[in-house]
């Protein structure tokens, strides 16, 4: 493909069809008064059926869903929450806002998700939760983490913001912990523009979070404008939920396209000195963001490759920075060097927009391959 014919390629964008426009238009025109929650309820029902969980609450963001769930668990000042050092700030922010301290353990070099052995070593009497973030669609070792949580009486929370379409031995990401949280930001596999979802199988936790999510007004409270507790306003709008409902009609096609994009990259880059998103036996990776980490013995420069891609109108993303390097966020559990620091400077997220063509993926892969060839001895 002639590089001069390449359109500008964003690292990601959603798939919006006439169905999403139709549903959103109906919500905007008719979703008021008695119908103001119709699409929200429909979206919650559809999403929980997809996951195979008992309860779902649509929220304004994944961060909001995490905040609600953590607040309901009583996490607060003096407490600690263990999570991986490689993460976006959105996972740590609710912990900090609640007055607790994020404690960062390293990621595994193969999955880029938190290391279960380090998780167990980092547990103290102050530990109140473990957050398992399924990074870029990659899955945490949930059997090991759930066993650790059970041994120590500590709940495991799943941040599945990036893991729609990923399954762990037959169970969908986000459905295994005490609660799960999802993101429907415009960059995600399914989108509502902005938005999230809280999911759980625990009826008491569900009722608590449901109350918190609506300014503390309990379901069934007949006294008008009476809050039963101080809550939050993290609700999703009916128009956003309408878009989500349309996305759910198409969800398997969207997951399949993400997986197809990844496999085109994987095949094209298979002979280069790098590792891409893994898919362990018994698991399915939703491949939200095709990512590679360059081998340690290469002379890879993330910034040089970013510039080469940008010069051709191609956007790529850096790997998440270690949160332990951000002032005031939390602390490392251990003093030794983390793999997270290496990965942050030696990895890239490749474009995975819906509608990305075979020729475009081939062109992007060729630029990556040519760069690696240029740095060989």
107-110 contacts, C-beta under 8 A, 24 or more apart:
107/135, 107/338, 107/339, 107/340, 107/343, 108/141, 108/339, 109/293, 109/339, 110/275, 110/278
| b/e map 223-262, b = 16+ CB within 10 Å | eeeeeeeebbebbbbbbbbbbbbbbbeebeebbebbbebb
In eight-state DSSP terms, residue 193 is B
Phi, psi of 197 (to 5 degrees): -150, 135
Q: Is-contact 154 66, C-beta < 8 A?
A: no
Strand duo 80-84 + 274-276: pairing: unpaired
188 annotated active-site: yes
Active-site residue (options: 188, 235, 258, 332): 188
Q: How many whole angstroms separate alpha carbon 133 and alpha carbon 152?
A: 20
**N- to C-terminal Cα distance for the chain?**
28
- From residue 192, give the alpha-carbon distance in Å to each of 59, 80, 98, 348: 11, 32, 27, 26
Number of Cβ within a 10 Å radius of residue 7:
9
In the chain, the DSSP E strands lie at 55-59, 80-84, 101-105, 127-133, 156-159, 167-168, 171-172, 179-183, 196-200, 274-276, 283-284, 291-294, 317-318, 331-332, 347-349
Residue 315: name the closest of 349, 361, 274 by CA: 349
Give catalytic residue positions. Answer: 188
């Amino acid at each position: 493909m002639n590089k001069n014919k390449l359109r500008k390629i964003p690292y990601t964008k959603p798939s919006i069809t006439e169905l999403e426009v139709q549903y959103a238009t109906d919500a905007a025109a008719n979703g008021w008064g008695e119908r103001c929650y119709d699409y929200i309820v429909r979206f919650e029902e559809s999403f929980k059926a997809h996951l195979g969980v008992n309860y779902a609450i649509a929220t304004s963001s994944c961060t909001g869903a995490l905040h609600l769930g953590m607040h309901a668990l009583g996490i607060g000042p003096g407490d600690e929450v263990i999570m991986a050092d490689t993460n976006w700030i959105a996972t740590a922010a609710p912990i900090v806002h609640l007055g607790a301290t994020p404690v960062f353990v390293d990621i595994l070099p193969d999955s880029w998700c938190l290391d279960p052995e380090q998780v167990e070593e980092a547990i103290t009497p102050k530990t109140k939760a473990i957050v398992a973030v399924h990074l870029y669609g990659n899955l945490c070792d949930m059997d090991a983490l759930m066993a650790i949580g059970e041994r120590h009486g500590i709940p495991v929370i799943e941040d599945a913001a990036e893991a729609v379409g990923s399954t762990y031995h037959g169970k969908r990401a986000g459905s295994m912990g005490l609660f799960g949280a999802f993101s429907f930001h415009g960059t995600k596999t399914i989108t509502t523009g902005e938005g999230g979802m809280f999911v759980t199988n625990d009826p008491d936790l569900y009722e608590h979070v449901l109350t918190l999510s609506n300014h503390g007004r309990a379901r069934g409270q007949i006294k008008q404008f009476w809050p039963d507790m101080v809550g939050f306003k993290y609700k999703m709008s009916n128009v956003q939920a309408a878009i989500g409902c349309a996305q759910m009609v198409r969800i398997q096609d969207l997951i399949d396209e993400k997986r197809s994009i990844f496999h085109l990259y994987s095949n094209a880059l298979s002979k280069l000195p790098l590792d891409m998103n893994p898919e362990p036996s018994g698991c399915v990776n939703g491949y939200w963001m095709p990512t590679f980490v360059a081998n340690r013995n290469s002379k890879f420069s993330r910034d040089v490759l970013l510039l080469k891609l940008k010069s051709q109108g191609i956007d790529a993303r850096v790997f998440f920075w270690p949160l332990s390097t951000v002032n005031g966020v939390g602390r490392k559990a251990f003093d030794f060097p983390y793999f997270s620091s290496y990965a942050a400077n030696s990895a890239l997220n490749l474009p995975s927009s819906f509608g990305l063509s075979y020729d475009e993926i081939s062109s992007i892969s060729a630029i990556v391959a040519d760069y690696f060839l240029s740095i060989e001895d």
